[in-house]
Chain A
Amino acid sequence: RKEVEQDPGPFNVPEGATVAFNCTYSNSASQSFFWYRQDCRKEPKLLMSVYSSGNEDGRFTAQLNRASQYISLLIRDSKLSDSATYLCVVNMRRGKLIFGTGTRLQVFP
């Protein structure tokens, strides 16, 4: 089983749609969690950290379920500029961040 698993997509959604991505991780001792965004052939950029209580940043909401070892990202009112690959990231230990393979999102007009 992979340490971090994501549905690769692609998710093709119209502008204004709500879309949700899921991610599962295998190591119950994982300490912290993030969503990163990667545009084609560019470096990953932090989108948001994920807290146990859930957190929101504008149109983006992240949730963590430690019991199920599951992380989610919800994007509301999708924009064309949201088209990218979304990477689920888990901090296993001592700063070793493990990246999922990513979920591709394509927002169309």
Chain B
Amino acid sequence: NAGVMQNPRHLVRRRGQEARLRCSPMKGHSHVYWYRQLPEEGLKFMVYLQKENIIDESGMPKERFSAEFPKEGPSILRIQQVVRGDSAAYFCASSPDQGGLDSPLHFGNGTRLTVT
């Protein structure tokens, strides 16, 4: 049973380019979460999605960032016009339900974005 799959593992973009990060949840999981971890800092919640729905995007920057989890295919975190401050590790997690007591989050290996 494959775990949460994220790709690419490493992504280098120049300022102004677009970054697309992909996440395939564990089999049977319909809830996806994106977190960002800046160097030497903790994980910051960005967005929580279910299939075709954004449930909570309170942690997403208002501009340049968007996320989707379509009916078919992986969840995508998209960052437009990247800036150096976007350089971070982006972790995706999934759960079979709302990440409650009996179903904690399972994390992917992360995508390390470097903006040059």
**Contact across chains for B108 and A43 when beta carbons are under 8 A apart:** yes
Which of B12-20, B63-71, B76-84, B94-102 has 4 or more CB atoms under 8 Å from chain A? B94-102
Closest A residue by C-beta to B107:
A43
A23 to B44, CA, bound (A): 17
CB neighbours (8 Å) of A91 from chain B are: 99-101
List the A side residues contacting B35 at CB < 8 Å: 99
Contact segment of A12-20, A44-52, A66-74:
A44-52
Residues of A within 8 A of B31 (CB): 95
Size band of the interface chain A makes with B: 20 to 34
Interface size class of B (residues with CB under 8 A): 20 to 34
- Would B55 and A32 count as touching, CB distance under 8 A? no
B59 and chain A: residue at smallest CB distance: A96
Q: Does the CB pair B55–A45 fall under 8 Å? A: no
The residues of B that contact A97 with a CB separation of less than 8 Å are 33, 45, 99, 105
- Beyond A31-B101, A32-B101, A87-B43, list 14 extra A-B contacts (CB 8 Å): A42-B110, A43-B107, A44-B43, A46-B104, A49-B104, A91-B100, A91-B101, A95-B56, A95-B97, A95-B100, A96-B45, A97-B105, A99-B35, A101-B41
Identify the A interface with B (CB < 8 A). Answer: 31-32, 34, 41-46, 49, 87, 91, 94-102
- 26 intermolecular pairs with C-beta atoms under 8 Å apart: A32-B100, A32-B101, A41-B89, A42-B110, A43-B108, A43-B110, A44-B43, A44-B91, A46-B104, A87-B42, A87-B43, A94-B48, A94-B56, A95-B98, A95-B100, A96-B48, A96-B58, A97-B45, A98-B45, A99-B35, A99-B42, A99-B43, A99-B44, A100-B42, A101-B41, A101-B42
